[in-house]
């Protein structure tokens, strides 16, 4: 168990982040530079490691290993959110200066969704240990189908269905309207393309939470470690987007690596229910192996294409 002041410090960081990394440009439509995003990503990563050191000082090496494993799992899975952010912004032609506004609300809501699902997930696992099996099966299924999803295609059926659902109840404008989310006129409520992007991201946040929360619960059920690893990974998501959106095309095999990681964690959950424990040090090694191989294969593929 972690003392109350650890929880106070964690949520103080969350509130501070809202008024800095996430909210500093909210009222001003400005383009976030690559250099600034890279610096913010490094600062959030450094803060996450400091939280890990604090966990080590209070609870020891096992808790520290659980936190590091959980944090890197969440960080890697967050890359999948970035894939979808890029697709939505490209699909709706969202101008660069308005993207941070959507990400501000999207990341904030994602944190709220995660905390709610973590609370329910910990309770469910404590009360019904067998839920590891369906949770693990869900991760294996998601990991298998993830590489097949084409985020660059406008024929993405899932997003088109949700788009049609929204258009059934509201009028949709394909203009930015100076960054407004919703407008009201004599005909009723009008959703701008900025508001539509936010709704699509909100829906995606809920779906991604169904993967990420069971994944981290497969590593530990300590509520502080689960919450802190999720919050720290999500806080860096906005700055990570602006970094990876400039480089994501260089690493086409990242999606395959994330899919394999989901399958691995799903297997870890299922076999764990039957008493077969896979250590977190091995899990950390697997994470770095999958990502490293994916990056190297992507670089090799790109270099090969240049030679042809």
Number of domain units in the chain:
1
Angle at 161 between CA 176 and CA 100, to 5 degrees: 30
Q: Tell me how far apart the 2 most distant CA atoms of the chain are, in Å.
A: 63
Q: Are 93 and 193 in contact (CB under 8 A)?
A: yes
Token reading at 147 = 């590489």
The domain containing residue 8 runs over which residues?
A: 4-307
Q: Are 234 and 78 in contact (CB under 8 A)?
A: yes
Q: Are 255 and 295 in contact (CB under 8 A)?
A: no
What pTM was computed for the model?
A: 0.76
Tens-of-pLDDT digits for all 308 residues of the chain?
Answer: 788 888 898 888 888 877 775 555 555 555 556 677 778 788 888 888 999 999 999 988 899 999 998 898 888 777 767 777 777 787 777 777 777 778 777 777 778 877 887 877 777 766 666 777 887 787 788 778 777 665 555 555 445 656 666 767 777 777 766 667 777 766 777 788 888 888 888 877 777 777 677 778 878 888 899 888 888 888 777 777 777 666 666 677 877 887 888 888 888 878 877 878 787 788 888 888 888 888 888 888 877 766 65
**pLDDT value, residue 158:** 46
Residue with tokens 């690559």: 34
DSSP sequence for the chain: ---HHHHHHHHHHHHHHHHTTTTTTTTS--PPPHHHHHHHHHHHHHHHHHHHHHHHHHH-HHHHHHHHHHHHHHHHHHHHHHHHHHHHHHHHT--HHHHHHHHHHHHHHHHHHHHHHHHHHHHHHHH-GGGHHHHHHHHHHHHHHGGG--TT-TT-HHHHHHHHHHHHHSEE-SS-GGG-SEEEETTEEEE-HHHHHHHHHHHHHHHHHHHHHHHHHTT---HHHHHHHHHHHHHTHHHHHHHHTTTGGG-TTHHHHHHHHHHHHHHHHHHHHTT----HHHHHHHHHHHHHHHHHHHHHHHHHHHH-
Closest CA to 171 of 184, 180, 157: 184
Determine if residue 156 is left, alpha or beta; phi over 0 gives left, psi from -120 to 50 gives alpha, anything else beta.
beta
């Amino acid at each position: 168990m972690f003392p109350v002041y650890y929880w106070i410090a964690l949520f103080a960081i969350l509130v501070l982040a809202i008024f800095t990394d996430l909210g500093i440009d909210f009222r001003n439509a400005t383009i976030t530079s690559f250099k600034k995003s890279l610096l913010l990503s490094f600062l959030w990563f450094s803060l996450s490691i400091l939280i890990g050191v604090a966990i080590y000082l209070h609870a020891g090496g096992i808790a520290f290993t659980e936190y590091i494993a959980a944090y890197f799992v969440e960080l890697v899975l967050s890359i999948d959110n970035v894939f979808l952010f890029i697709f939505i912004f490209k699909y709706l032609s969202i101008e660069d200066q308005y993207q941070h506004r959507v990400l501000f609300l999207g990341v904030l809501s994602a944190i709220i969704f995660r905390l709610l699902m973590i609370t329910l997930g910990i309770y469910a696992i404590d009360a019904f240990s067998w839920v590891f099996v369906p949770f693990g099966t869900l991760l294996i299924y998601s990991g298998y189908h993830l590489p097949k999803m084409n985020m660059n295609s406008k024929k993405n059926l899932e997003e088109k269905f949700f788009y049609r659902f929204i258009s059934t109840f509201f009028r949709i404008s394909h203009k930015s309207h100076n960054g407004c989310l919703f407008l009201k006129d004599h005909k009723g409520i009008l959703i701008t393309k900025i508001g539509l992007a936010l709704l699509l991201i909100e829906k995606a946040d809920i779906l991604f939470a169904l993967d990420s929360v069971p994944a981290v619960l497969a590593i530990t059920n300590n509520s502080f470690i689960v919450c802190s690893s999720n919050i720290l990974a999500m806080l860096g998501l906005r700055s990570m987007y602006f970094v990876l959106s400039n480089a994501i095309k260089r690493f086409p095999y990242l999606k395959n690596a994330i899919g394999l990681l989901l399958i691995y964690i799903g297997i870890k959950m299922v076999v764990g229910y039957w008493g077969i424990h896979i250590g977190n040090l091995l899990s950390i090694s697997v994470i770095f192996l999958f990502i490293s191989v994916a990056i190297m294969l992507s670089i090799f593929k790109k270099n090969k294409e240049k030679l042809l």
